Amino acid sequence: MTIEEVLAVEEMQVFDRKSVNIDPKALAIPIIAFANADGGTVAIGISDKTRRIEGVDYDISKLNELLRVPFDFCIPTVKVEIEKVQCIDFKGKENHVLLMHIEPSMEVHANQADEVFMRVGDKSKKLTFEERTQLMYDKGERFFEDKPVPEADIEDIDVPFVEKYIAQIDY
């Protein structure tokens, strides 16, 4: 990808821009949202409102903090591929924009506060308990059949039916 392509792409279901000055905890939100949805790319070093190119090369400690976000602020860790795109920043200096490519995950990811997000359109939506549970079912982390039935007990099982089933499957 070139810097012109990064600037031309609209923020959407699979693309977001973030300033290099973003708080690491805040960067975890779109990373988690992409992993829980269809995957996507976060371009870091471009102001998401004005599209001003800030770059990431001149504050190495900040860059290192942002590179650790998928490990330090995402539970479980989100797999991210890193790409650097050459650019000229708003000060006229040679610089790079960091692209974090996130694949869709087979697991449900949360942040350190145990909040789960999903990418919906151009926003990272915080999921309710019910939506989180549904996502766990969708990703196969949880099975509807394992859900307890309130007030059910052993007498509710139709033993002759179960015996017939066992015989039918030759168990």
Reading the block at residue 162, the tokens are: 């179960």
The per-residue pLDDT for range 137-159, each reduced to its tens digit, is 999 887 766 777 788 888 888 99
Alpha helix segments (H runs only) across 11-59: 24-36
Supply the DSSP symbol for 159: H
Residue 13 CB contacts under 8 Å (≥ 6 apart), including other chains: 37, 38, 40, 119, 120, 121, 122
pLDDT in tens, 5-41: 999 999 999 999 999 999 999 999 999 999 999 999 9
CATH number of 3-146: 3.30.950
How would residue 66 be classed by pLDDT, with cut points 50, 70 and 90?
Answer: very high
Task: Answer yes or no: are the C-beta atoms of 37 and 103 closer than 8 Å.
Answer: no
Residue 75, Cβ density class (10 Å: 0-12 exposed, 13-18 middle, ≥19 buried): middle
Strands (E), 72-142: 80-88, 94-102, 117-120, 123-126
Helix axes 24-36, 60-72, angle to 10 degrees: 40
Residue-range domain boundaries for the chain: 3-146
Assessment of whether the complete model's pTM goes beyond 0.85: no
